[in-house]
A and B are shown apart, each in its own frame.
Chain A
């Protein structure tokens, strides 16, 4: 009995402290005695309030600590931690006087898991985009084969725009429009959203490329921002993403209609090659000539059969015409088959103007008309 009384002798009931005095003193002692420190533990009981402040507990196998992280500190983080996540917290130990509670004021938080809080934020945003169907492969639009006006949403200072312009210069000289925006750093996400929203107001736009010329992995974050990804999804024309990072796929890449590894690759994917188109035109030229040969040959054969009855002279003319046509068909530019035809070609028609194609259409004595280069002649079929 004696010992406790001795301890209390230092203060009499008359000199009793108020609760507030005790907590204030305790707070002063703790704040003076425990400097800001890094604490390692597992997050539990996480709760974010409407004010933006976060409350949670850090624990290990034997103890736990109440923690608060004010909104001004936590808004620098990509995402709140999940319960059960191992973290490092940089914190100021203190006493919350109103509750008489010992706790940590957390200023910074790092996850020890792969990718950390960035990965948490990424997965969370991805799930949200998925819920809204924005990652559905069926949403992806085909790129226009021959785009006329192409917008590039990127930094005016970066290499991305220059690279794209250089590719288009030799490949597909379109109408290229830069929509300048910052792509990294504080506030870049808002600027990028505004630039993407602007695309819907550019008249006659066929395609957009959004990206950057490269940079650190941390700087990718702007393109992993959920609002930016949603802004990409809302662009009214097909979008090619060119975030300049081979390994990491950003949310913008997932939402874009096509993902290209670099801005140059995006420009190539988005446009046809002018030289290939030239070759295609030449193939058309040959196809035209080839295609015309069949109907002219058939018509020639039909006329030849009819010609047997018209006389050998006409037949010879037709033979010559056929031969010339075959020559002419070989080279479109050198010799138009039209000109060849005009040298000795004829078409037989009956009185109503219908083309006569078969022997059966030429009964003996039939009056018909032959059309040649400079007019028509009246003719009559001989005896079969």
Chain B
């Protein structure tokens, strides 16, 4: 769905990027043992896959804010 992907591209995607950065930094550290390295590598591969997928699936969604008489806000899809 557009919102899930559009929104997701910003939110979960940001977390994936951040985690990937952490993982690479940690892997490049001196004091890492093999078990941890493998575990991080595996997680990194999974995060990469998810991030690629999110980026590919993102879609622009365009809406307009409307206020009803009681002043309540509503978001309505806009035709473009």
Contact B14 A292 (CB under 8 A): no
Contact B10 A174 (CB under 8 A): yes
Mark each residue of chain A from 183 to 216: 1 if its CB lies under 8 Å from any CB of chain B, else 0. 0000000000000001001101010000000000
A173-B6, A175-B7, A291-B24 known; A165-B14 Cβ under 8 A:
no
User: With A and B bound together, what is the CA distance between A178 and B38 in angstroms?
Assistant: 47
> What is A's interface to B at a CB cutoff of 8 Å?
145-149, 151, 156, 162, 165, 168-169, 172-180, 198, 201-202, 204, 206, 274, 277-278, 280-281, 284-285, 287-288, 291-292, 294-296, 299, 332, 336-338, 341, 347, 355
How many B residues touch the partner, as a band?
Answer: 35 or more
User: With A and B bound together, what is the CA distance between A169 and B78 in angstroms?
Assistant: 14
User: With A and B bound together, what is the CA distance between A377 and B76 in angstroms?
Assistant: 65
Among B11, B37, B42, B51, which residue has its beta carbon within 8 angstroms of that of A281? Answer: B51
- Note all chain A residues with C-beta closer than 8 A to B13: 146
- Note all chain A residues with C-beta closer than 8 A to B35: 347, 355
- Note all chain B residues with C-beta closer than 8 A to A338: 38, 41-42
User: With A and B bound together, what is the CA distance between A247 and B39 in angstroms?
Assistant: 56
> What is B's interface to A at a CB cutoff of 8 Å?
2-3, 5-7, 9-11, 13-14, 17, 20-21, 23-24, 27-28, 32-35, 37-38, 41-42, 44-45, 48, 51-52, 55, 58-65, 67, 73, 75, 78, 80
- Note all chain A residues with C-beta closer than 8 A to B60: 165, 168-169, 173-174, 176
- Note all chain A residues with C-beta closer than 8 A to B59: 173
CB distance from B24 to the nearest CB of A (A): 4
- Note all chain B residues with C-beta closer than 8 A to A206: 10
CB distance from B52 to the nearest CB of A (A): 6
User: With A and B bound together, what is the CA distance between A201 and B72 in angstroms?
Assistant: 9
The chain A residue sitting closest to B8, CB to CB, is A148
User: With A and B bound together, what is the CA distance between A198 and B67 in angstroms?
Assistant: 9
- Note all chain B residues with C-beta closer than 8 A to A149: 7, 10
A165-B80, A198-B73, A288-B48 known; A355-B34 Cβ under 8 A:
yes
Contact A178 B67 (CB under 8 A): no
User: With A and B bound together, what is the CA distance between A156 and B35 in angstroms?
Assistant: 57
Contact B10 A147 (CB under 8 A): yes
- Note all chain A residues with C-beta closer than 8 A to B41: 288, 291-292, 337-338
CB distance from A347 to the nearest CB of B (A): 6
The chain B residue sitting closest to A345, CB to CB, is B34
- Note all chain B residues with C-beta closer than 8 A to A156: 64
